Amino acid sequence: MRKRKKEDQASHRNDPTENQISALRPASREEAGLFYSDDLRQQRMRRQEPLVGRVTYASGERQEFTDPREYLQTIREELPYRNTTGFRHETLTDDPAVREAVDDILWDFAGEENPRRSGRELRMGGLGT
């Protein structure tokens, strides 16, 4: 019977008492980073510059660009090897200058003149002449 009493006392020590429970508090955002990972990811995304474009290769390699010049240069360099490397590009920006530059690169590569480009040069003040 004495052994049982000691076991009961030992288990009682491991049980949280009311005083111990009242000392518990919710974890702060920093302490519980795991639970708020989506918020942190969104905060990091807002701090970054917006993506201009993304390129992928058949090997699974992927590059994302925030600098329009680097993105356009990569397209110029990789486009001739697209059949062997599996090069694909995706323009993500809404900037018309970048989108037009990508169109021009693709038309030049095909050996054609961009038909939309000649129409843009004739316009004055947004009105076609």
3 state SS of 48: coil
Q: Taking Cα atoms as reference points, which of 115, 60, 66 lies closest to residue 95?
A: 66
The encoded tokens of residue 46 equal 């807002």
Q: What are phi and psi of 57, to 5 degrees?
A: -130, 165
Q: Which residues of 34-67 are buried (b: 16+ CB within 10 A; e: fewer)?
A: eebeeeeeeeeeeeeeeebbebbeeeeeeeebee
pLDDT for residue 3: 56
pLDDT for residue 129: 43
pLDDT for residue 58: 94
Alpha carbon distance 15, 9 (integer Å): 10
The encoded tokens of residue 71 equal 């993105």
Kindly report, residue by residue over 61-96, the tens digit of the pLDDT.
999 999 999 999 999 999 999 999 999 999 999 999
pLDDT for residue 49: 80
pLDDT for residue 115: 79
Q: Per DSSP, what are the bridge partners of residue 53?
A: 65, 91
The burial class, CB within 10 Å (0-12 / 13-18 / 19+), for 91 is buried
pLDDT for residue 113: 82
Low-confidence ranges of the chain (pLDDT < 70): 1-47, 118-129
pLDDT for residue 83: 93
pLDDT for residue 52: 94
